[in-house]
Structure 1
Amino acid sequence: MRRSPRATLTVLALAQFIVVLDVTIVNVALPHIQSDLGFSADGLQWVISAYTLVFGGFLLLGGRAADLLGSRRVFVTGLVLFGVTSLAGGLAGSPGLLIAARTLQGLGGAMLSPAALGILTVTFPHGRERNIAMGVWGGLAGLGGTLGVVAGGFLVDALSWRWVFIVNVPIVIALVVATPLIVPHIAPHKGRRSFDALGAVLATGGLLGVVYAVVRAEPLGWSSGEVLGCLVGGVLLLAAFLAVETRIASPLVPMRLLRSRALSSAGAAISLTGAAFLSMFFLTAIFLQQVRGDSALRAGVEFLPMGGAAIGAAVLATPLITRFGTRPVQIVGTLLSVAGLLLLSRADATGSYASQIMPGIVLFGLGIIAVSVPAQIAAVVDVTDTDAGAASGVFTAFQQVGGAVGLAVVTTLSTSRTTHALAGGASQSDAMVDGFHRGLLVAAAFTAGTFVVTLLSPRLAPSADQIAGAAAAA
């Protein structure tokens, strides 16, 4: 039976849509989750970090598994795991159960996302058809991020926070049923099957150890045995990961890729950008509801101008990169992002949305895309065609992991500021505003770090064909 490429694209793009949706849809539900399940202020960030850390840590392993076991098989397995853990998250009755569900949900996303991309590249031939398909894929993924906050707000206000997870279940069931009927079978690669599961476990375990140490440092202090033990253990696991990667035949992260100045600087830039983005989203969603008293739906709607600005920046980015190169566009993007965060850090509990919130998030939305698009192109434009897929996977992993680690740092420092303000006699509202301001300033510092990395990066002037190829690989 001949399968329609357009129908295949629809299934794959919807799957990627819900993976991206789950990064943002949860943010507006965080205050309700915190009050219902009794999360601590510093523990709440694990609802986001557990998902993004495991997603980033196992993304490359998921892509490798798809190559060796068959993309469609791994795609369906990832979908099923994603759906089951979405239901488990919606039914969770304690912080531990919700974090465990989010952890396994990230693993499901790490399986289905690279498998879907692999199917897409085989289904559509290189050139115009693939570029259009990638545009639809990327557009729906971006739409998932933008609509996530609005959909999350609607579900929380109309039903409960649990539905931000349960809503995935009927979509997943429909996709699992449709996949064997619509998506073509792709034979796995022949030859020796080497997954480097050890590398994925070491990398993710090391990052979890470091993030946990950062989070626990605020209540326990850096000299605590628990904090030092987790920090040292995490660093040792990461060192072991690097040692493993240099010695095995099929590593998750080929070290030759990191020797590319363009890829390594793009990875550093997107890590810092991811840290700023996740932190801003997390802090602002809580600030709008717990400090300014907005409903979840209103908070979601108030994020929409940022999504619109990001879409506009994405449209403008490609011709600007073609004309001026990657570095000038990235520099402008970092300046806009810093300006947006600094403006947002002046917001208080009673000021108007139009003057105190919207200008900052619009500038940040413009800037964040003006940084990420040239970084994405730089990550793959300087590598060989055979390494383009691996380079794109490394880049995405940098983005997810950088976001999770940065969120841990920002949340810890923000919570510390709020706690100290309360101890000094400030009201709950004023203390939370102080914590919000400090967190945004730390996020701005991450973005300033992106500016420094960009100044040290090579100035690439890719052609239109190279940009199209980079978009297809990414």
Structure 2
Amino acid sequence: MSDKTTSAPVAVAAGPDPRRWRALAILCAAYFMIIIDSQIVVLALPTIDADLGLGAGGAQWVMSSYLLAFGSLLLLGGRTADLFGGRRMFLIGTALFLVASMGCGLATSSGVLIVARVIQGVAAAVMAPTAMAVLMTTFEQGPERNRAVGIWSGIGAFGATAALLVGGSITDGLGWQWIFFINVPIALLVLVSGPRLLRETPYGQGAWTLDPIGAVTITGALVLLVFAVVTGPDAGWASARTVALLLAALAALALFVAVERKVAAPLVPPRIFRNGTLVAGNLMTLLVCIALYGAAYNMSVYAQQVLGYSPTRFGLSTAVYAALSIIGSNVAGALIAKVGYARVGVVGAGLLTVGAFLLSRVSADGNYWTDLFPGLVVIGSGIGTTVVAGAVAALSNVNGQEAGLASGINNSVFQIGAALGIAISTTVALMRHNPAAEPSTNLIEGVRSAFLAATIAAFACLLVATTLTLRRRR
């Protein structure tokens, strides 16, 4: 079957869209809601457990179910923009996210909550890449688009840190249900304003070119991979279950590659990976997310279990970290137009490496100002900068017809990096456990090692950014 367009794409007006910055605000509000929901439940889990009786396994799945659905369906979600229209699918995803958020807040049992979280993840997997496809259509290629992508990516970095800032306060002040109910007014605002402010994206390949075999195999591969990563620390990385899941994911991925080489209209055209900046940008995104989420998780462990902070106090103590991530992302968006994403990536990854290393020096008798604050300042400055540089590299040389797919790939990498960051940090911390040592000694040694693992990931990101800079000079 031919892969030619079978229905005319929606017409896009020539010239800059006068509503483009308001449209960006709507898209960023939705993206912030998506990202913050991946972590906001962390500090609320003890309270949810007390109300619903989650148990150890249930508590893990309140977080993991969202991550699993979100991370594994992003490629398929991104492709829907190219097939059916980015604005249309974004609004459908937002409506589903609203309903799922209401379901989470009204849940009366752990089973209902976990199912609602899965639906949230499915909706997020449609929303995130289709929103990026709309952004790419709204802003013409060049400095303005780079600035818009920088703001968008900065919102993602801020969302990953803001979850720690507000999650504890909302839970303590209003109740855990409100970490989900706060999504309702945001989603309603998007649904009311979106049809008026957002452009439709080019589309028109028709549902019959959806490549069902490719969709099933890549979704299966990502589900197996994310599931293995999420459960690996508890089951053991060398356990039969984890090894079997990783091998099954590899087999499904190999089958997907074979299928995509044969079908007329592949879900992920192999040619897209010949784009060197797309590959390098996604590799930077993967590594910065491993460092970011691994460090953030262990900040919480150190602050609450060593310094004795409450969830609310810990959240407030990360304000400087969250604020600097926003400042860094906005500065990066402006600098990329002048010096390029590769050089900005080098600076950001360098800051991230130094900040993670400073955190790896925390001590058992330390305090916030000497042990956490310096690392928070430096790592916060590097997060937004590096995330923006990676996203711009991954999306800058992609044509409009494949914007949804490229965004889906970048968002998939972001979520897999987040899962890997938490899993790697947990595994590294457990490896430092000494049965003969005091629990407090094991805890501080584990936290230090986890921060060091984040440092290594950040340094690897620095190497990729440096290589990209040298390549662009040549």
TM-score, normalised with respect to structure 2: 0.81
Give 2:446's match in structure 1, choosing from 431, 435, 447: 435
Q: What CA distance in whole angstroms lies between the structure 2 residues aligned with 1:228 and 1:120?
A: 40
Q: What CA distance in whole angstroms lies between the structure 2 residues aligned with 1:187 and 1:279?
A: 36
1:337 and 2:344 are equivalent in the alignment: no
Q: How is 1:234-313 mapped onto 2 (pairs within 5 angstroms)?
A: 234-313=249-328
Amino acid at match of 2:444: V
Q: What CA distance in whole angstroms lies between the structure 1 residues aligned with 2:154 and 2:306?
A: 33
Q: How is 1:56-205 mapped onto 2 (pairs within 5 angstroms)?
A: 56-92=71-107, 97-122=112-137, 144-177=159-192, 179=194, 182-183=196-197, 186=200, 189-193=203-207, 194-205=209-220
Deviations 1:384-437 (A, max 9, x none): 5655554343223222222223322322333454xx34x43523x444333322
Identity of aligned residues (%): 36
Determine the structure 1 residue equivalent to 2:457: 446
Determine the structure 2 residue equivalent to 1:359: 374
Is the CA contact 2:150–2:329 (under 8 Å) kept in the aligned structure 1? no
Amino acid at match of 1:283: N
Determine the structure 2 residue equivalent to 1:26: 41
CA displacement at 1:254 relative to structure 2: 2.3
Amino acid at match of 2:131: A
Is the CA contact 1:19–1:113 (under 8 Å) kept in the aligned structure 2? yes
Q: What CA distance in whole angstroms lies between the structure 2 residues aligned with 1:219 and 1:71?
A: 39
Q: What CA distance in whole angstroms lies between the structure 2 residues aligned with 1:218 and 1:141?
A: 26
Determine the structure 2 residue equivalent to 1:469: none
- Secondary structure class of the residue paired with 1:23: coil
Amino acid at match of 1:192: G
Is the CA contact 2:289–2:417 (under 8 Å) kept in the aligned structure 1? yes
CA displacement at 1:158 relative to structure 2: 0.7
Structure 1 133/226 Cα, relative in aligned 2: closer, same or farther at 3 Å?
A: closer
Give 1:375's match in structure 2, choosing from 383, 390, 393: 390
Q: What CA distance in whole angstroms lies between the structure 1 residues aligned with 2:461 and 2:183?
A: 34
Which stretch has the larger CA shift, 226-235 or 115-124?
115-124
Gaps of 5+ in 2: 1-16
Determine the structure 2 residue equivalent to 1:424: 436
Amino acid at match of 1:59: L
Is the CA contact 2:76–2:408 (under 8 Å) kept in the aligned structure 1? no
Q: What CA distance in whole angstroms lies between the structure 1 residues aligned with 2:369 and 2:101?
A: 35
Q: What CA distance in whole angstroms lies between the structure 2 residues aligned with 1:334 and 1:130?
A: 22
How many residues end up aligned between the 2 structures?
454
Structure 1 157/89 Cα, relative in aligned 2: closer, same or farther at 3 Å?
A: same
Determine the structure 2 residue equivalent to 1:233: 248
Q: What CA distance in whole angstroms lies between the structure 1 residues aligned with 2:260 and 2:125?
A: 20
Gaps of 5+ in 1: 463-474
CA displacement at 1:329 relative to structure 2: 3.7
1:414 and 2:429 are equivalent in the alignment: yes
Amino acid at match of 2:454: A
Amino acid at match of 1:111: V
Q: What CA distance in whole angstroms lies between the structure 2 residues aligned with 1:273 and 1:177?
A: 35
Q: What CA distance in whole angstroms lies between the structure 1 residues aligned with 2:190 and 2:292?
A: 30
Amino acid at match of 1:76: L
Is the CA contact 1:30–1:286 (under 8 Å) kept in the aligned structure 2? no
Amino acid at match of 1:15: A
Q: What CA distance in whole angstroms lies between the structure 2 residues aligned with 1:412 and 1:329?
A: 31
Q: What CA distance in whole angstroms lies between the structure 1 residues aligned with 2:185 and 2:334?
A: 40
Is the CA contact 1:72–1:183 (under 8 Å) kept in the aligned structure 2? no
CA displacement at 1:357 relative to structure 2: 0.5
Structure 1 386/217 Cα, relative in aligned 2: closer, same or farther at 3 Å?
A: closer
Question: Aligned-residue CA RMSD in angstroms?
Answer: 3.6
Is the CA contact 1:211–1:408 (under 8 Å) kept in the aligned structure 2? no
CA displacement at 1:241 relative to structure 2: 2.1
Structure 1 250/277 Cα, relative in aligned 2: closer, same or farther at 3 Å?
A: farther
Which stretch has the larger CA shift, 324-333 or 342-351?
324-333
Determine the structure 1 residue equivalent to 2:221: 206
Amino acid at match of 1:51: Y
Which stretch has the larger CA shift, 236-245 or 30-39?
30-39
1:391 and 2:406 are equivalent in the alignment: yes
Q: What CA distance in whole angstroms lies between the structure 2 residues aligned with 1:297 and 1:408?
A: 24
CA displacement at 1:83 relative to structure 2: 2.0
Q: What CA distance in whole angstroms lies between the structure 2 residues aligned with 1:196 and 1:34?
A: 41
Deviations 1:65-94 (A, max 9, x none): 234334444223212221222233334566
Deviations 1:317-351 (A, max 9, x none): 35655665544443333332222112212224542
Amino acid at match of 1:435: G
TM-score, normalised with respect to structure 1: 0.81
Determine the structure 2 residue equivalent to 1:467: none
Q: What CA distance in whole angstroms lies between the structure 2 residues aligned with 1:132 and 1:100?
A: 37
Q: What CA distance in whole angstroms lies between the structure 2 residues aligned with 1:25 and 1:165?
A: 9
Structure 1 278/102 Cα, relative in aligned 2: closer, same or farther at 3 Å?
A: farther
Structure 1 94/322 Cα, relative in aligned 2: closer, same or farther at 3 Å?
A: same
